[in-house]
């Protein structure tokens, strides 16, 4: 089957959303707020926290809300099964250390467009 001249076939690729990974400073701020009162903050609290964290890297209110939900769930799991927590804590600390080393080596810039696999010939 031949293509007609002037006919271009375009394939739209849906790009995957990029995951938010908190910087070490953001993580420190979030953890300190969590330990002050381990409940998910109200809407105004989420807005205030988002504004504070945005000074360090781009972040949305949804990211903050989800972080607190996930952190509270981890905390509850930790209380329910304390023997498993040591391995999880060591793994999390290892991942955080790797992330911190990587961020020192590769500075992140929010001004750059995301890398895309779309090739236009």
Residue 74 lies in a domain: yes
24-78 pLDDT tens trace: 999 999 999 999 986 789 999 999 999 999 988 889 999 999 999 999 999 888 8
Residue 7 lies in a domain: no
Residue 40 lies in a domain: yes
Residue 56 lies in a domain: yes
Residue 15 lies in a domain: no
Residue 54 lies in a domain: yes
Give the Å distances, CA to CA, from 1 to 4, 81, 121: 9, 63, 21
66-110 pLDDT tens trace: 999 999 999 888 888 876 656 666 777 777 777 766 665 555 544
Contact 27, 96 (CB under 8 A): yes
- Indicate which CATH number applies to the domain containing 89: 1.10.10.60
DSSP 113: P
Residue 38 lies in a domain: yes
Residue 112 confidence (pLDDT):
47
Residue 49 confidence (pLDDT):
93
7-20 pLDDT tens trace: 555 556 666 778 88
Residue 13 lies in a domain: no
Q: How many domains does the chain have?
A: 1
**Count of CB atoms situated within 10 Å of the CB of 98:** 10
Structural domain boundaries, residue 58 = 24-104
């Amino acid at each position: 089957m031949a293509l007609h001249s002037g006919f271009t076939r375009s394939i739209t690729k849906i790009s995957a959303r990029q995951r938010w990974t908190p910087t070490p400073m953001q993580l420190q701020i979030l953890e300190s707020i969590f330990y002050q009162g381990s409940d998910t903050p109200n809407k105004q609290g989420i807005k205030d926290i988002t504004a504070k964290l945005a000074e360090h890297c781009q972040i949305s209110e949804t990211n903050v809300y989800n972080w607190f939900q996930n952190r509270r769930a981890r905390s509850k799991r930790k209380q329910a099964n304390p023997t498993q927590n040591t391995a999880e804590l060591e793994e999390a600390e290892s991942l955080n250390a790797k992330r911190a080393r990587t961020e020192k080596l590769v500075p992140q810039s929010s001004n750059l467009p995301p890398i895309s696999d779309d090739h236009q010939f």
